[in-house]
Structure formats: structure tokens, C-alpha cells
């Protein structure tokens, strides 16, 4: 674009310089050519300015599109992070619930086993007490029989 501006300015300067002290017909023709060259240069400058504005506009549009894409990507990344955090929280809650349930089952099983052992110990104690009572009764009976035997003798 700078080359277009420089070229247009050079053409205009050369055209005007060619209009030196010559006869009227030649001078008029050269003035016409210079005016045409100046118009051409003006059109080239206008085109260059338009292209510059268009390039700036395209650059701004591209920057806006790039920014919009970056914002969209950031929003998508944030949404994905939130989804993963939610998933992790649900997973942690499920694992906590499972661990609590397993702990409850183990506590129930331990309590049941302890109850069974207490019941078995109580049965064993009752049986031992019954045997001891029976043996004591038998011993008392034998002692009574001996006392009678000695009394009879």
C-alpha cells in the first residue's frame, strides 16, 4: 500500500514537472496529461485509504473473532471443569456412602458375633452350673448315705 502511495505521488510530480515552458498546445496537452495523472494518483490514494480502512476493519473483525473463539473455548473449559468437579463430588459421595454402609455391616456382624458368643458363654455357664449342682447333690447324697452307714454301725 505504501508503494502505491509513493508511486502515485511520483507520477503526479513527474507530470507537473513535464509542464515546463513549452508552447501553448504542448503545455495544454501536458497539463491535461498531468491532470489525468493527478486524478489517477488521487484515485490510487483513495483506493489505498479504502484498502487501509478495509484491512483495519478485517483485522478488528479477526481480532474480535479470535477473542470470541477464546472466550468460547474458556467457557467450554470451565463447563468441562465444573462437570468433572460435579462428577468427582458424586463419586466421593457414593464412595463415602459405600464405606459407611460397609462399616455399618461390619459393626452389625461384630455385634451379632459378640451376642452369639455371650449367648454361648451363658449356655456354657448354665450347663456348668447345672453339672456342678448335680455333682453337689450327688456328693451330698453320698455323704448322707455314709452318715447313715456309720450311724447304723
Number of domains in the chain: 1
Q: Using 50, 70 and 90 to split pLDDT, how confident is the model at 5? A: low
pLDDT-above-70 percentage for the chain: 83
Q: Using 50, 70 and 90 to split pLDDT, how confident is the model at 106? A: very high
Residue 96: give the domain boundaries.
2-152
CB atoms within 10 A of CB 15: 20
Residue 153 has pLDDT above 90, yes or no: no
Query: How far is residue 122's CA from residue 53's CA, in Å, rounded to a whole number?
Result: 101
Contact, 22 vs 30, CB < 8 A?
yes
- Single out the residue of 86, 75, 11 nearest to residue 43, CA to CA: 11
| Distances in whole angstroms, Cα of residue 104 to Cα of each of 94, 108, 109 | 15, 6, 9
Q: Higher confidence at residue 70 or residue 109?
A: 109
Residue 14 has pLDDT above 70, yes or no: no
* pTM given for the model: 0.43
Amino acid at each position: 500500500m505504501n508503494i502505491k502511495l509513493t508511486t502515485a505521488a511520483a507520477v503526479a510530480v513527474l507530470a507537473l514537472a513535464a509542464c515546463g515552458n513549452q508552447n501553448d498546445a504542448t503545455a495544454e496537452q501536458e497539463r491535461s496529461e498531468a491532470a489525468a495523472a493527478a486524478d489517477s494518483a488521487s484515485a490510487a490514494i483513495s483506493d489505498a485509504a479504502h484498502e487501509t480502512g478495509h484491512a483495519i476493519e478485517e483485522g478488528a473483525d479477526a481480532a474480535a473473532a479470535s477473542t470470541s473463539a477464546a472466550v468460547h473455548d474458556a467457557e467450554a473449559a470451565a463447563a468441562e471443569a465444573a462437570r468433572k468437579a460435579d462428577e468427582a463430588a458424586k463419586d466421593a459421595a457414593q464412595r463415602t456412602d459405600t464405606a459407611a454402609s460397609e462399616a455399618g455391616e461390619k459393626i452389625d456382624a461384630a455385634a451379632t458375633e459378640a451376642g452369639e458368643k455371650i449367648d454361648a458363654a451363658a449356655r456354657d455357664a448354665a450347663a456348668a452350673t447345672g453339672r456342678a449342682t448335680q455333682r453337689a447333690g450327688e456328693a451330698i447324697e453320698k455323704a448322707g448315705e455314709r452318715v447313715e452307714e456309720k450311724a447304723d454301725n
